[in-house]
Amino acid sequence: MSETAAPPLASAPPLLEVTGLQTSFLAGEGQIIRAVDGVSFSVNGGETLAIVGESGSGKSVTSLSIMRLLPKKTGFVSGGDIRLRGKSLLDLSERQMRDVRGNDIGMIFQEPMTSLNPVHTIGRQIAEVVIQHQKLSKAQARARAVEMLELVGIPEPQRRADSYPHEMSGGMRQRAMIAMALSCEPSVLIADEPTTALDVTIQAQILDIMRNLQQKLGMAIVFITHDLGVVAEMADRVVVMYAGQVVETGSVRDIFAGPLMPYTAGLMQSIPRLGSTDRREKLQTIPGYVPPLTRLPSGCRFRTRCSFATDLCAAAEPELDMPEPGRAVRCVRWRELQLMTRKVS
């Protein structure tokens, strides 16, 4: 069975296509650790693809690989391909890739305070991106920065363009990051945990902004998160990652209606149930932690935390199986789990 995940639902060629991606890091004593192992997915214009998993699953490394922002001395793509409109990003020079970043692919990072320059105003930082990619004058770039700040809902955008990052709230800084990422109207937006540090009210506002801008610009969104509640609200399709691998893919409806991988089912069971009146009801958790990449278990990488694991799960690493078009799962017992889910429902 090929490691390539299910093709996109639409018949049009994918806007962004990641195939068999392998990303490795140099560790001490010449050791090489593979942090992303054979990851494949695609996303079309106007579509939102969510990449889900716990910390350490390889989500952020995948996004940095796409942007070619891996640490130069220690991180490198060791296999696979990344294509934008059919053209390999791995074949581009660094100068050519700089033209792609921000112009064709925008990225919102998890923590804006580490991504925004503290010694420059927000307006100047947005304007610099516009000048670099759109070749506008300083006055035109300034006007574009103010326009973008207004678009993402920042009050008094003309005045706020002259604010420094530390003079803005967390929600406002995140809006400014969105404004910067979208200032050149990219075809693809990668959002890496963009609402994690925000309260629920601001989080809802940020998600609304992203949805509205997606509808206006027709861009594809790769939304990286561990929050399945956000996935249900934002995404069309889901890629579930664990210990560097894709373990399940499918539409949001299919994933939420009947997960086929025990890990995905465990993530689903950790979500509070809307409308539950039993205050004694406890959320279920997945025992243990994602294993270190230097000490992966034999066979299925999830088996040491899985209540469904048998000796068969330790025998060999499972490949991605495709139960139906648009779905893929990495589990030798997915059929049994599917039957159990149907009986419960």
Q: Over the stretch 279-329, which tens digit does the pLDDT of each residue have?
A: 555 667 889 999 999 999 999 999 999 999 999 999 999 999 999 999 999
pLDDT computed for residue 279 by the predictor: 53
Is 47's pLDDT higher than 70? yes
Question: Which tokens hold the place of 2?
Answer: 């090929």
Q: What is the mean pLDDT of the chain?
A: 88
Please report whether residue 322 resides in a domain: yes
DSSP H or E segment with residue 164:
none
pLDDT computed for residue 281 by the predictor: 55
DSSP, res 107: E
Range of the domain at 307: 237-272+296-344
Is 202's pLDDT higher than 90? no
Is 9's pLDDT higher than 50? no
| Mean pLDDT on 179-199 | 87
Q: How many helices (H) and strands (E) does the chain have?
A: 13, 11
Please report whether residue 119 resides in a domain: no
Per residue in 235-280, pLDDT tens?
999 999 999 999 999 999 999 999 999 999 999 887 765 555 555 5
How far is it, in rounded angstroms, from Cα 305 to Cα 243? Answer: 12
Please report whether residue 6 resides in a domain: no
- The 3-state DSSP class for residue 313 equals helix
Cα 98 → chain centroid: 21
How far is it, in rounded angstroms, from Cα 185 to Cα 310? Answer: 50
Closest CA to 19 of 114, 104, 88: 88
How far is it, in rounded angstroms, from Cα 340 to Cα 333? Answer: 11
How far is it, in rounded angstroms, from Cα 83 to Cα 72? Answer: 21
Please report whether residue 207 resides in a domain: no
Structure pTM?
0.88
Number of domains in the chain: 1
Q: How confident is the model at residue 8 (pLDDT cuts 50, 70, 90)?
A: very low
Please report whether residue 165 resides in a domain: no
- The 3-state DSSP class for residue 133 equals helix
Q: How confident is the model at residue 3 (pLDDT cuts 50, 70, 90)?
A: very low
How far is it, in rounded angstroms, from Cα 345 to Cα 342? Answer: 5
Please report whether residue 306 resides in a domain: yes
Please report whether residue 326 resides in a domain: yes
Please report whether residue 259 resides in a domain: yes
Is 2's pLDDT higher than 80? no
In this predicted model, which residue has the larger pLDDT, 252 or 12?
A: 252
